[in-house]
Amino acid sequence: MDYQKILDEIYEETRPLLGQGRVADYIPALAHVDPKKYGIAIETLEGGCFHVGDAAVPFSIQSISKVFALSMVLKVLGEKLWTRVGREPSGGAFNSLVQLERENGIPRNPLINAGALVVTDCLSSITENPLHRLLEFVRKNSDNPQVNYDSLIANSERETGYRNAALVNFMKSFGNIENDVDAVLNIYFHQCALMMSCIDLAQAFLYFANGGRHPITQEQVISLSQCKRVNAVMQTCGFYDESGEFAFSVGLPGKSGVGGGIVAVIPKMLSICVWSPELNPKGNSLVGMKALELFTTKTGVSIF
C-alpha cells in the first residue's frame, strides 16, 4: 500500500478545513499555538515511516499522555488497578464531578481526567521519581532522547487547573487518592505538558499495534492481554464524549488531546498520528478527525 500517496491526498483534501475550529485557549499557554499547523505521520511494524506537513514539529500532547502513564501502572499493578478506576465510557464531560459523587469517588475510566489522576496517584506510589520515570519511558518508546516537558505549559495548567484540583481533592475525600494532592497534580500537569511530534507519537504507540511489544526496542512494554485491554479502553473512551463517533467514522483504537493531537493504531500493522491544533466543540482536533476517517476509508482497513 502506498501510504505516502494516501497521506499526501488526505493532507490536500483536508487543508480547506483549517480555520473552522478553535485552539484550546482555556489553557493560556496553548492559546498561542499557530492554528494552521498540520502534520500526519505513520510508523509501520516493518519499519516504514511516512509523513507530511508539520509532522516533525513538537506540540503539547495533553491527554495522550494518559495512555503512557496507564501502561506503566498497569504493568506493575495489573488487575488491582481496576479496583480504583472503571473501564466504562463516561458519557459526559472529561472533567465532570457529577459522576464521582454518584459513584463514590471511583472514576468511570482511566482516560477521563479523574481516572487519569488516579493513575497518576498510582504512578506516584510505585516509583520514587515518577516524572523522571515517565519521561524515560516516553523517550525510550519514541526513540527520541530530546522529548521533554514544557514548563511554561505545565505552569499555565497549574495556574488554571481548578477543576482538576477539585477532582483530586474530591477523590481524596473518598480515600481513592493515596498521595499528597499537590504532588499528584504537579505530576499530572507535567505529563500533559510533554512535547512530542507526530513522528514521536506514532513511534511511541507502536507497541499497541504489536501485542504490547515495541518492534524497535523488542521490549515487552505491557503484556499481550494488557495491550488488548488498553486498546479496548482507547476504542471506547479515548475521545472524551465523542468516542462513539470516532468508532463509527474511523474504527480504530486511539487517543486524542486538546493540544490537537490524535494517535490511533491498526493492530498488527501500524500507528498513525495527526496534529492540527484547532478543535471541534467536543475538544478533538477537527481536521484530525476527518483525516483519520479518510485514512481508513482510502486504505479500506479498520478493526471492524
Within a 13 Å sphere around the CA of 159, how many CA atoms are in the beta-carbon half? 10
Tell me whether residue 304 is in a domain: no
**What residue type is 130 in one-letter code?**
P
Tell me whether residue 12 is in a domain: yes
Q: What is the CATH number of the domain that holds 225?
A: 3.40.710.10
Catalytic residue list contains 60: no
Asked if residue 292 lies in contact with residue 250, where contact means CB atoms within 8 angstroms, the answer is: yes
Tell me whether residue 195 is in a domain: yes
Strand partners for 275: 39, 261
Tell me whether residue 86 is in a domain: yes
Catalytic residue list contains 207: no
29 vs 194, which has greater pLDDT? 194
Location of C-alpha cell 518508546: 141
**Cell numbers at 196, concatenated:** 512530542
Catalytic residue list contains 80: no
Catalytic residue list contains 282: no
Q: Where are the alpha helices (DSSP H) in the chain?
A: 3-14, 65-77, 98-102, 113-126, 130-142, 151-160, 162-173, 181-192, 198-204, 224-237, 243-249, 286-299
How many domains does the structure of the chain reveal?
1
pLDDT for position 220: 98
Q: In what order do the strands lie in the sheet with 254-256?
A: 49-53, 39-44, 270-275, 261-266, 254-256
Tell me whether residue 130 is in a domain: yes
Long-range contacts made by residues 9-12, C-beta under 8 angstroms, separation at least 24? 9/294, 9/298, 10/40, 10/291, 10/294, 10/295, 10/298, 11/38, 11/40, 11/52, 11/53, 11/291
Task: Quote the domain boundaries for residue 263.
Answer: 3-299
CA distance 137 to 135: 5
Active-site pick, 38, 52, 63, 230: 63
- Averaged over 34-39, what is the pLDDT? 97
Catalytic residue list contains 188: yes
CA distance 208 to 5: 25
**Whole-number mean pLDDT of the chain?**
96
CA distance 242 to 235: 11
Predicted confidence band at 102 (pLDDT cuts at 50, 70, 90)?
Answer: confident
**Cell numbers at 68, concatenated:** 503512557
Q: What is the pTM of this model?
A: 0.96
* DSSP designation for 220: B
pLDDT for position 91: 75
3-state SS, residue 40:
strand
Give the least confident one: 97-101, 116-120, 136-140, 193-197: 97-101
Active-site pick, 258, 263, 265, 287: 258
pLDDT for position 199: 98
Active-site pick, 184, 188, 263, 271: 188
Assess whether pLDDT exceeds 90 at residue 263: yes
Active-site pick, 118, 240, 263, 276: 240
Active-site pick, 3, 11, 65, 66: 66
- 158-169 in b/e burial notation, b at 16+ Cβ within 10 A? beebebbeebbe
Sign of the CA dihedral 123, 285, 199, 29? negative
pLDDT for position 187: 97
44 vs 25, which has greater pLDDT? 44
Asked if residue 266 lies in contact with residue 8, where contact means CB atoms within 8 angstroms, the answer is: no
By residue count, the chain amounts to: 304
